[in-house]
Amino acid sequence: MEVEKMSGLEPDECKLSSGERVFIHLFRPQDAPGIGRLFHAVYADKYPFSRFYNPEELIRAFETGDNYSIVARREDGEIIAHLGFFRSAPFAGLYEAGAGLALPEFRKEGLLLSLLHYTYGRLAMALGIDEAWGEAVCNHLHMQRVMGRFDFLETGLEIDLMPEETYAKEGRSSGRVTSAVAFRCYVPSPHAVHLPSVYEKVLRSIYSWLDARRTLHVSGDLPPAGSSTCASHKVFDFAQVARIEVMAAGEDFEAWLKGAEAGILEGKIKVIQVRLNLSCPWVGSAVDILRRQGYFFGALLPRWYGEDGLLMQKTIDRPGWENIMLFSDRARELLEIIRNDQEDVLSLQTGQ
């Protein structure tokens, strides 16, 4: 169904400094091999998501609406820049903008801005999505500036998310790389959320930045007696990251978490992330359990489940705080909050 919606989207045209015409347009099946060549040229084989190297997988993702690639194509057909717009959350109406890259010789041509204009100004509208989000790396400021230009607002930081090796070819990191999390709302969705008491102040502050129209309650309930946790986890081996999605935290959440961690930590994991649903009245009790196990605040996740989510995170090694570069005052405020919370969590553990 989504593919038919896109049939009327015509390409945009821009000119390089040389005068050559470049076409900005939505993915076509014949573009898939060229996208793979672009990713190889920039990242070798180190980009952690294989979809962009695999033409058949990329075509399937487009046909199902899971991923829309937007490309900059030269007149001879060469793909010189790319941006992905894809589903990466439980809620199908939330799309992530990411996987943006250009060949080095074209990076001063403004192609990424052209791709973003096409995505946020045309594609998102045609799709009728509810919300968009993205992750801007914090080993330089360029992507953070760009996201601000397109009305995205930071809601948190994913500490040490990506390995240094991802950016080694370009020499743009000295340690693991943090990402800023930012969201843009297209269709407001008023609903109630429950704020864990320990994060009530920071969450109220973030909500004040957003056009969120939420009814805010403080979480004080306990999970129902005998209730079971409904959750899953996925390990990203190259990134050395594990992500736990908690659809419902039950009375057994602490035991479930310890069991999941035992399996996860058998590998070479450096970061564990846990996402929780803020529509749950007893989400605060799950947050307290996570903090006792070393997890600290990460981000507010608007519309993650259709309703809002909360990201908690734990790094196995000391975070590379000194490597984090931030553009906005909001992001710098969030970094201070997150760093202080990690120190508080460490003190909880040493006090046990």
From the number of C-beta atoms within 10 Å of its C-beta (0-12, 13-18, 19+), residue 9 rates as: middle
Statement: residue 168 has pLDDT above 70:
no
Q: What separation in angstroms does the CA of 135 have from each of 37, 43, 144, 146, 264?
A: 23, 18, 9, 11, 24
108-119: per-residue pLDDT in tens?
999 999 999 999
Domains and CATH numbers, the chain: 2-185 (3.40.630.30), 192-350 (3.40.630)
Q: What is the pLDDT of residue 1?
A: 40
Report whether 255 contacts 293 (CB < 8 A).
no
Statement: residue 352 has pLDDT above 80:
no
Alpha carbon 249 to its chain centroid, in Å, reads 22
- Can you tell me the distance from the alpha carbon of 214 to that of 211, in angstroms, rounded to the nearest whole number? 9
* Mean of pLDDT values over 280-293: 97
From the number of C-beta atoms within 10 Å of its C-beta (0-12, 13-18, 19+), residue 83 rates as: buried
pTM of the predicted model, to two decimals? 0.90
Report whether 157 contacts 180 (CB < 8 A).
yes
* Mean of pLDDT values over 152-176: 83
Beta strands in the chain (DSSP E): 12-15, 21-26, 67-74, 79-87, 94-102, 131-137, 153-162, 177-185, 192-196, 215-219, 230-236, 241-248, 271-277, 296-301, 309-315
Q: What is the pLDDT of residue 5?
A: 57
Give the pair of three-digit tokens for residue 59.
């075509």
Statement: residue 143 has pLDDT above 70:
yes
Neighbours of 107 (CB within 10 A): 15
HSE value, Cβ hemisphere, 13 Å, CA-based, for 71: 24
**β pairing state of 309-315 and 296-301:** antiparallel
Q: What is the pLDDT of residue 47?
A: 84
Poorest-confidence range of 28-37, 43-52, 225-234? 43-52
318-333: per-residue pLDDT in tens?
999 999 999 999 999 9
Statement: residue 286 has pLDDT above 50:
yes
- Can you tell me the distance from the alpha carbon of 203 to that of 246, in angstroms, rounded to the nearest whole number? 19
Report whether 23 contacts 12 (CB < 8 A).
yes
Q: What is the pLDDT of residue 349?
A: 79
Split at pLDDT 50, 70, 90, the class of 171 is: low
Split at pLDDT 50, 70, 90, the class of 120 is: very high
Give the pair of three-digit tokens for residue 39.
């990713």
The per-residue pLDDT of the chain, averaged, comes to: 93
Q: Which residues is 13 bridged to in the sheet? A: 23
Q: What is the pLDDT of residue 8?
A: 66
Split at pLDDT 50, 70, 90, the class of 164 is: confident
Q: What is the pLDDT of residue 181?
A: 97
